[in-house]
Structure 1
């Protein structure tokens, strides 16, 4: 079994090296838990950034080569905003979701990811209020001593210093990071920015190039916002008649409605429709316990993009409450950002979903899940206002 894995990250400015280290560490842990052998190392094709893996499962050997399809440069470019520009983003993004009515429709699906989207707005507003109060108090005290001519500039200085100090703490708070994330999705009313459109076309060409090689399976994986990018990448190939039968799609922890429910996201809604109409095997894995994703929401159905005759992904749950022990869940409690990456990590009570067997094991994605039905909690209500066409 020879597999090629093309991984598309979510909105992440960090270089792709982190994904290799995460795979190496968590893969070793999963192999020990589940009783198979997994070894990571170099790969034959050195295009881009990636790594190789070999597994031996019940005497069956499989080889995989991984490649990260990088768009972290686009992410990093979108994050280079001043404090004032970030607060302007806050206003535009809030209006994009509230003014279009998308926010209320998203709330009908899952409240968790909507509350996660509201978190950076509330956090930044609270930071501004605290900085304002600190500035006012400092200015008032100075005014009592030296007069308002000195109190006003002191108040302004303390206010600005307070905002800067909050931003320095963002490595723990993630308010600025998440604000940039949602602002990136909401810009232009949900339409892809030109730089991302170009990168999607490049990714499509890369997938097609890889699929021309001697592989048993070409597995495209999209995590978080990388899920809807993966959909657009493969839909482009489907429309061009270049969607090779060996290509499969795995989407993890998707946030598709955050984009597809916006009025100008016409290209994404078309892509959801066109890919669902193709013959590709598409597995979508989420978990209700992941507050950063739309757990068990069928991205095609809820976006009102189901083609005539049906189609779309097989929707299953990673079932964190069953596949993670009570001790592990306790360890992850409150670490919602880490939980959003659990799909790429080891499970100490593993079930059918095993990221390392899926990506490096001896069975293709369709062989492993073709007899599986949707998880009972699947949400398929066509909630989106816009839909396709």
Structure 2
């Protein structure tokens, strides 16, 4: 949370929102945008039932896979929202097609860099729970490696016990290793080891400018956000980044503001909401990273309102992250405006039954940020999308 003495006055939000443009940035996910269209459609209906309003969502004619329309009929006035899903799932699909042995070798390099640059140590120092869980995929990968070595040793010993040349055990050992690899892929449906390792590798490429395909995609995202922010018929332009999409959304928003220049003060209110973010993976450690530069710019930019929502129960997000102190940002004497850091308070907005079901299902818990509430609360994802109030008015200081 920004200390009161560090707050600075900037442009205020509109009194009400009638037309909004939302740019949703998913995390590192190989699933197509249709997955999110179906999720948003289903959960919007639940949200509407909770509030006793009519709300509907349809695919746009221009690009139905990523361009959607929401119409919500509130008592005072209807709200129209255009949602652009800034999907980059092709990047994840590309990465998941890389042979696992190459992924394993590259992951060792990435882990070595993360240790050498102090990224791991800083994450552990900032939040031990998140820091330890960030190392979870390598711990599991080590178990897989030990199982592979044990399998090879067992087949070689069996060949020797049968009086065969020890190398005769290599053929069945190779078949066993292939079976073990397939088993790890099957187990990934529950344990997400290869998924998280690929996520780490992508983040390393992003922070070191080693992924031109992703850079080109994100530059296009920034231009689309900037174009929307020039539309005088809109009341609010809202960028939402979830999970790894949080640091992508930060970079995209910072670049969009660069493209806008002073024109960013004349159009609709521009807001950024990061939810379930794991920003330290992209910003911690040495040397200076693009994410840290983007954060520094957004922290002092009064054209923007930025709120970061976290859930303490979610091991895949980083709670109570004040980026200025965490990354020791030098603001050069400029006044601070962002971000406001808030808890989504899952215990209060979801039923006890749902909360109990998710206690040990960390991946499903991570996606509760995108689910409709069971109870009213400050954090209501679909009110941010389709409600009549701007994000800045909905977000309250804790009482």
TM-score normalised over the length of structure 2: 0.87
User: Counterparts of 2:353 and 2:113 in 1: how far apart (Å)?
Assistant: 40
Instruction: Kindly indicate whether the alpha-carbon contact (under 8 Å) linking 2:254 and 2:298 is maintained by their aligned counterparts in 1.
Output: yes
Instruction: Kindly indicate whether the alpha-carbon contact (under 8 Å) linking 1:139 and 1:154 is maintained by their aligned counterparts in 2.
Output: no
Q: Report the 3-state secondary structure (helix = DSSP H, G, I; strand = E; otherwise coil) of the residue aligned with 2:126.
A: coil
Of 78, 88, 103, which aligns to 1:71?
88
Partner of 2:99: 82
Question: RMSD of aligned C-alpha atoms?
Answer: 2.2
Q: Report the 3-state secondary structure (helix = DSSP H, G, I; strand = E; otherwise coil) of the residue aligned with 2:79.
A: strand
Partner of 2:11: none
Alpha-carbon distance change, 149 to 207 in structure 1, aligned in 2, over 3 angstroms = closer
Structure 2: 5+ residue stretches without partners: 1-17
Q: Report the 3-state secondary structure (helix = DSSP H, G, I; strand = E; otherwise coil) of the residue aligned with 2:162.
A: helix
Highest relative contact order (Cα 8 Å, sep 6+), 1 or 2? 2
Partner of 1:8: 25
TM-superposed CA distance for 1:337, in Å, is 0.8
Of 260, 275, 283, which aligns to 1:252?
275
TM-superposed CA distance for 1:18, in Å, is 0.8
Partner of 1:199: 217
Which has the larger displacement, 183-192 or 72-81? 183-192
1:166 aligns with 2:204: no
1:343 aligns with 2:369: yes
1:221 aligns with 2:240: yes
Partner of 1:60: 77
1:150 aligns with 2:179: no
Alpha-carbon distance change, 190 to 335 in structure 1, aligned in 2, over 3 angstroms = farther
Alpha-carbon distance change, 349 to 8 in structure 1, aligned in 2, over 3 angstroms = same
Of 308, 327, 331, which aligns to 1:284?
308
In the alignment of these two chains, the number of paired residues is 373
Which has the larger displacement, 105-114 or 325-334? 105-114
Provide, for residues 257-289 of structure 1, a one-character-per-residue CA deviation record: whole Å limited to 9, x for no partner: 111014245322211111222120111111111
Q: Report the 3-state secondary structure (helix = DSSP H, G, I; strand = E; otherwise coil) of the residue aligned with 1:169.
A: helix
TM-superposed CA distance for 1:143, in Å, is 2.6
Partner of 1:329: 355
Instruction: Kindly indicate whether the alpha-carbon contact (under 8 Å) linking 2:122 and 2:285 is maintained by their aligned counterparts in 1.
Output: no
Of 88, 95, 99, which aligns to 2:112?
95
Of 195, 200, 210, which aligns to 1:177?
195
Partner of 2:323: 299
Partner of 2:249: 230
Q: Report the 3-state secondary structure (helix = DSSP H, G, I; strand = E; otherwise coil) of the residue aligned with 2:317.
A: coil
User: Counterparts of 1:205 and 1:47 in 2: how far apart (Å)?
Assistant: 20
Partner of 1:383: none
Of 371, 384, 388, which aligns to 1:358?
384
Instruction: Kindly indicate whether the alpha-carbon contact (under 8 Å) linking 2:204 and 2:282 is maintained by their aligned counterparts in 1.
Output: yes
Alpha-carbon distance change, 315 to 125 in structure 1, aligned in 2, over 3 angstroms = same
* 1:130-149 paired onto structure 2 within 5 Å: 130-147=147-164, 148-149=166-167
Alpha-carbon distance change, 110 to 192 in structure 1, aligned in 2, over 3 angstroms = farther
TM-superposed CA distance for 1:294, in Å, is 0.4
Which has the larger displacement, 226-235 or 107-116? 107-116
Q: Report the 3-state secondary structure (helix = DSSP H, G, I; strand = E; otherwise coil) of the residue aligned with 1:362.
A: coil
Partner of 1:121: 138
Of 309, 314, 317, which aligns to 2:343?
317
Provide, for residues 208-258 of structure 1, a one-character-per-residue CA deviation record: whole Å limited to 9, x for no partner: 222333211111111111111111112123234053442211111111111
Which has the larger displacement, 23-32 or 216-225? 23-32
Alpha-carbon distance change, 168 to 154 in structure 1, aligned in 2, over 3 angstroms = same
Alpha-carbon distance change, 47 to 211 in structure 1, aligned in 2, over 3 angstroms = farther
Structure 1: 5+ residue stretches without partners: 377-389
